[in-house]
Amino acid sequence: MDQGNQHILQGKISSTTFKLAMPVIIGHLLLLCYNIADTLFISMIDRESTALISGVGLIFPVYFLFIAISVGLFSGLGSVVSRAIGAKDKTVLESVASSGLALGLVIALSVLVLFYSFSRPLIEALAGSEMSRDAITYAHDYLLFIIPGFCLLVFNNVLLGILQGEGKPQFYGIVMALTTVLNIALDPLFIFTLGMGVAGAALASTLSILCATLLLVYVFVCQRSSLPICWNVLRAKLQIIGQILAIAVPQMLALIILAGGFIALNKLVGSLSEQMMNAWVISGRVNELVLLIGYGIGQASLTMTGQNYGAGQWQRLQQIMRTNLLNTLVLALCFVLLLNLAALILLPLFSAVSEVIVAAQYQIRFLSLAGAAVCIEIVCGNIFQGIGRPFPGLILIFVRMALIVVPLSYWLIQSLGYGMEALLWVSLLSNLASASAATLWCRHTLRRLPMLSATPRTA
* Percent of the chain surpassing pLDDT 70: 96
Residue 201 has pLDDT above 90, yes or no: yes
Confidence of residue 129 (pLDDT cuts 50, 70, 90): low
The kind and range of the H/E element at 132 are none
- The answer to whether the beta carbons of residues 255 and 71 sit under 8 Å apart is yes
Q: Is 54 helix (H, G, I), strand (E, B) or coil?
A: helix
**CA dihedral for 26, 32, 36, 42, sign (positive or negative):** positive
pLDDT of amino acid 185? 92
- The answer to whether the beta carbons of residues 100 and 162 sit under 8 Å apart is yes
> 353-393: per-residue pLDDT in tens?
788 888 888 999 999 999 999 999 999 999 999 999 999 99
Residue scoring higher pLDDT (277 or 439): 439
Residue 286 has pLDDT above 50, yes or no: yes
Distance CA 276, CA 282 (A): 10
Q: Is 249 helix (H, G, I), strand (E, B) or coil?
A: helix
Distance CA 349, CA 162 (A): 38
pLDDT of amino acid 346? 80
174-194 mean pLDDT: 92
Which residues make Cβ contacts (< 8 Å) with residue 149, sequence separation at least 6? 202, 205, 206, 207, 208, 209, 210
- The answer to whether the beta carbons of residues 66 and 153 sit under 8 Å apart is yes
Provide the phi-psi class of 11: left if phi over 0, else alpha when psi is between -120 and 50, else beta.
beta
pLDDT of amino acid 452? 61
CB atoms within 10 A of CB 204: 27
Confidence of residue 343 (pLDDT cuts 50, 70, 90): confident
pLDDT of amino acid 459? 42
pLDDT of amino acid 197? 92
Residue scoring higher pLDDT (183 or 234): 183
Residue 453 has pLDDT above 70, yes or no: no
pLDDT of amino acid 352? 74
> 57-103: per-residue pLDDT in tens?
888 778 878 888 898 999 999 999 999 888 888 888 888 888 998 99
17-33 mean pLDDT: 86
Residue 163 has pLDDT above 80, yes or no: yes
Distance CA 58, CA 270 (A): 9
The kind and range of the H/E element at 212 are helix 198-221
pLDDT of amino acid 336? 93
Residue 342 has pLDDT above 50, yes or no: yes
pLDDT of amino acid 5? 67
Q: Which amino acid is at 197?
A: G
How many residues appear in the chain? 459
What is the distance, to the nearest Å, from the Cα of residue 415 to the centroid of all Cα atoms in its chain? 32
Distance CA 85, CA 83 (A): 5
pLDDT of amino acid 53? 81
Distance CA 355, CA 11 (A): 52
Residue 128 has pLDDT above 70, yes or no: no
Which residues make Cβ contacts (< 8 Å) with residue 398, sequence separation at least 6? 254, 257
pLDDT of amino acid 283? 85
Tell the burial category of 134 from Cβ atoms under 10 Å away from its Cβ (0-12, 13-18, 19+): middle
Residue scoring higher pLDDT (3 or 84): 84
Of 34-43, 123-132, 331-340, the range with the lowest mean pLDDT is: 123-132
Contacts 24+ apart (CB under 8 A), 332-337: 332/290, 332/293, 332/294, 332/371, 332/372, 332/375, 332/376, 333/372, 335/289, 335/290, 335/292, 335/293, 335/368, 335/372, 336/290, 336/368, 336/369, 336/371, 336/372
Residue 248 has pLDDT above 50, yes or no: yes
Residue 347 has pLDDT above 90, yes or no: no
Instruction: Provide the mean pLDDT of the chain.
Output: 88
